Amino acid sequence: MQLRGTTVLVTGASYGIGAALARSVAQRGATCVVLMARSADALGHVAETVTAMGARALPLAVDLTDDAALASAVHTLLAETGVPDVVISNAGSGRWLAIDETEPAEARAMMAMPYFAAFTLTRLLIGPLLARGAGHLVYVNSPAALLPWPGACAYSAARWALRGFAEALRADLHGTPIMVSTVVLGMVESQYFAHNPGVAERIPRLARRVLPPLSTDQAAAAILDGIERRRRLIIAPAALRGLFWLHAVTPWLVRRLTLAGGWRRGVSGEP
């Protein structure tokens, strides 16, 4: 699907990868970009850039974990722009913590964002998408959805939930014209690490050694290239594809390397 002339919804569009996606979508000729996130001011700045690039911008400040607020935002979106052609569920957060460092409330919050937010947004839009008979649903995820590593227990579980949802949704939608893609990105130089303290320190050595960090613009370009080429699984950078391939062939080796250079408990088992 070419993005020229389309309406694209991007969640988490106030900062980082989402803001870069919004700008890049406009650059590729989208007619309208709908922006969702909580920070109204930051969304406004991104919307101004999108408008300056010649696309219509509809910023909707919403907490995606608030079902009623999200339903109201989707109502506004459908009334103002009609059914989006592409929906990119990109918003995400979550600290990397071992199980005994994670309060149950924080584990639930990590499921609320990104998994339940993506589920609810999709649930609200699926009827209109099916009625229109076209659409592309895209879920931005982490390598933790394929390769778990130590010290990020609830985070990994939430990313597996998001990946499982996308896979099951594709099966649900089999035979319909709605396409489903998962995006898996390595390290991206965004404010994620400032927004989620402690994450940067727990990146396994293997990832630091073999995965060159992407800029947010590079991540956005990889995602949009994948959408335009109708890829079901979009992986960037290329070295990450190699790592997944190695994991498929010799899972024990990648597991050993991930554990060897990852977060470790103290000698008495304490975090």
In the bound state with ligand NAP, the residue whose beta carbon lies nearer, of 45 and 232, is 45
137, two tokens:
């649903």
What is the C-alpha to C-alpha distance for residues 85 and 51, in angstroms, rounded to an integer? 19
In the bound state with ligand NAP, the residue whose beta carbon lies nearer, of 135 and 143, is 143
Catalytic pick among 15, 139, 155, 192: 155
**Judging by beta carbons within 10 Å of its beta carbon (0-12, 13-18, 19+), is residue 81 exposed, middle or buried?**
middle
- Site string (119-158) toward ligand NAP, x via CB under 6 A: ---------------------x-x----------------
CB of 142 to ligand NAP, least distance (A): 4
In the bound state with ligand NAP, the residue whose beta carbon lies nearer, of 90 and 258, is 90
CB of 162 to ligand NAP, least distance (A): 9
What is the C-alpha to C-alpha distance for residues 241 and 225, in angstroms, rounded to an integer? 16
In the bound state with ligand NAP, the residue whose beta carbon lies nearer, of 134 and 194, is 194
93, two tokens:
């957060």
- Kindly write down the DSSP assignment for every residue of 190-245, as one continuous string: STHHHHSTTTGGGS-HHHHHH-PPBPHHHHHHHHHHHHHTT-SEEEESHHHHHHHH
Among 3, 8, 12, 138, binds ligand NAP (CB under 6 A): 12
Of 37-56, which residues contact ligand NAP (CB under 6 A)? 37-39, 42
Among 187, 206, 207, 221, binds ligand NAP (CB under 6 A): 187
In the bound state with ligand NAP, the residue whose beta carbon lies nearer, of 181 and 190, is 190
What is the C-alpha to C-alpha distance for residues 147 and 170, in angstroms, rounded to an integer? 21
Among 2, 51, 176, 191, binds ligand NAP (CB under 6 A): 191
115 is catalytic: no
Among 27, 29, 49, 63, binds ligand NAP (CB under 6 A): 63
CB 244 within 8 A of CB 198: no
Of 209-268, which residues contact ligand NAP (CB under 6 A)? none
CB 227 within 8 A of CB 136: yes
Residue ranges in contact with ligand NAP by CB under 6 A: 12, 14-18, 37-39, 42, 63-65, 90-93, 113-114, 140, 142, 185, 187-188, 190-192, 195
**Which positions are catalytic?**
155
